């Protein structure tokens, strides 16, 4: 039964979002967030101010994958759509490189015959890796845009790609149910993992010794790179695992799923430590902050959300609007946004009655909300 207090508690309602969030990434210094969306754009957020800083426009299809360069000065985006099939050709089959400070497009990586599923930048800042529905992974020169090498060996679409930290090897995951490890100098590969369903996402451990993969069987699996032995299964999601990530110290893993949750796991025992609940759509992308204390998730509910890894609490959600406005909301109803908080896409609801945003603005408007939530632990309690 709903109490009278709950019925009359005001809540913020979002009227229009900018599209499904397909990919998220933190800059290496943790000061900026990059999101890729179904609305064909990528957007840059400043953590200190909470503001949406830039929009990267140029793709003619969904931005399916995003990444930062090691120095944080460049952003990489890939275009594709989950509606693609192995034989379905789309309009935009490119990856694009952008200047983070100006949003100027610097390079286009063009050569795939089908949409891109995944993009990555090497840690030495010299190369780009792309995986596509055409079943091929390609290695590109970061500065010239020239293709350096083509990796063929999968018999179905390449769903995920990743560089090793030393930039000497690469991982590719595929709908052919395999994970391949490639030597970038020779182009040779070996299978380091096999499952019974398509691979959805992959990651190298920080020390390069382990491979983590999500799949359509609703679990994530850990392999030893050298032996190919499966070491651990992370089981508990109720639907496909769409995204995986290692914590910076390599002791935990993060998974995002079609069951609308993200989960934090202990590597050694495979025990779930936190379940991040709140999204109303599938969680397509997950990432740790560089210090490992926060988690970022991107979802088909059109929001990106920031969580505390220690408590599992949602700290806030980031929302972009089609008209260029932005907002940061926290679970207590506090908000920040463009135009000094006067945002057409937000309104209050008490019970079933909508009221104008400005009627409660004095009580709930909190400039710099995102910075306060990321810098002051337990500020929201």
Instruction: For 245-277, write each residue's pLDDT tens digit.
Output: 999 999 999 999 999 999 999 999 999 999 999
What pLDDT score was predicted for residue 76?
98
Single pTM value for the model: 0.89
pLDDT at residue 42 greater than cutoff 90: yes
Q: How far apart are CA 136 and CA 290, in angstroms?
A: 31
Q: How far apart are CA 241 and CA 238, in angstroms?
A: 9
- pLDDT tens digits for range 190-245: 999 998 889 999 999 999 999 999 998 899 999 999 898 999 999 999 999 999 99
Domains identified in the chain and CATH numbers: 1-12+321-381 (no CATH), 17-315 (2.130.10.10)
Q: How far apart are CA 211 and CA 205, in angstroms?
A: 6
pLDDT at residue 292 greater than cutoff 50: yes
What pLDDT score was predicted for residue 346?
81
| Torsion, Cα of 23, 29, 31, 37 (10° steps) | -10
* β-sheet bridge partners, residue 209: none
Q: How far apart are CA 258 and CA 263, in angstroms?
A: 12
| Torsion, Cα of 279, 63, 263, 235 (10° steps) | 120
Q: How far apart are CA 193 and CA 199, in angstroms?
A: 10
CA-wise closest residue to 82 among 25, 171, 21, 128: 21
What pLDDT score was predicted for residue 379?
36
- pLDDT tens digits for range 107-118: 999 999 999 999
DSSP string over 78-134 = EE--TT--TT---S---EEEEETTT--EEEEE---SS-EEEEEE-TTSSEEEEEETT
Q: Which pair of tokens denotes residue 156?
A: 């179905």
Residues 6+ positions from 371 with CB-CB distance below 8 Å: 47, 48, 49, 50
Q: Which pair of tokens denotes residue 31?
A: 């000061």
pLDDT at residue 341 greater than cutoff 90: no
Q: How far apart are CA 309 and CA 276, in angstroms?
A: 9
Give 299's Cβ-side CA count (13 Å radius).
28
Q: Which pair of tokens denotes residue 48?
A: 């200190």
Sign of the torsion angle spanned by Cα atoms 135, 137, 140, 142: positive
The per-residue pLDDT of the chain, averaged, comes to: 88
């Amino acid at each position: 039964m709903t109490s009278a207090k709950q019925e009359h508690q005001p809540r913020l309602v979002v009227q229009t979002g900018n599209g499904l969030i397909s990919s998220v990434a933190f800059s290496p210094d943790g000061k900026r967030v990059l999101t890729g969306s179904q609305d064909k754009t990528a957007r840059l957020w400043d953590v200190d101010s909470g503001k949406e800083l830039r929009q990267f426009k140029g793709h003619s299809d969904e931005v399916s994958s995003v990444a930062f360069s090691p120095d944080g000065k460049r952003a990489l985006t890939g275009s594709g759509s989950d509606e693609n099939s192995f034989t379905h050709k789309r309009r935009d089959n490119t990856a694009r490189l952008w200047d983070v400070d100006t949003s100027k497009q610097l390079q286009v990586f063009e050569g795939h015959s089908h949409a891109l599923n995944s993009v990555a930048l090497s840690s030495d800042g010299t190369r780009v890796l792309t995986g596509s529905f055409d079943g091929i992974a390609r290695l590109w020169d970061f500065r010239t845009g020239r293709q350096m090498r083509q990796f063929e060996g999968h018999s179905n679409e390449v769903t995920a790609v990743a560089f090793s930290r030393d930039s000497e090897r690469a991982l590719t995951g595929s709908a052919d149910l395999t994970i391949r490890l490639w030597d970038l100098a020779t182009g040779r590969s070996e299978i380091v993992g096999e499952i019974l369903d398509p691979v959805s996402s992959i990651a190298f451990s920080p020390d390069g010794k382990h491979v983590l993969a999500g799949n359509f069987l609703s679990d994530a699996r850990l392999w030893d790179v050298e032996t190919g032995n499966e070491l651990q299964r992370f089981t508990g999601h109720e639907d496909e695992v769409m995204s995986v990530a290692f914590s910076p110290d390599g002791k935990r893993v993060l998974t995002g799923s079609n069951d609308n949750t993200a989960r934090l796991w202990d590597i050694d025992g495979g025990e779930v430590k936190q379940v991040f609940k709140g999204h109303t759509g599938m969680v397509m992308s997950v990432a740790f902050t560089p210090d490992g204390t926060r988690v970022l998730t991107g979802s088909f509910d059109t929001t990106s959300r920031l969580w505390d890894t220690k408590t599992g609490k949602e700290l806030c959600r980031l929302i972009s609007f089609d008209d260029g406005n932005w907002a940061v909301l926290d679970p207590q109803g506090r908000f920040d946004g463009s135009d000094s908080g006067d945002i057409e896409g937000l309104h209050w609801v008490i019970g079933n009655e909508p009221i104008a945003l400005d009627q409660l603005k004095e009580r709930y408007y909190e400039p710099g909300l995102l910075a306060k939530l990321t810098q002051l632990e337990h500020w929201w309690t």
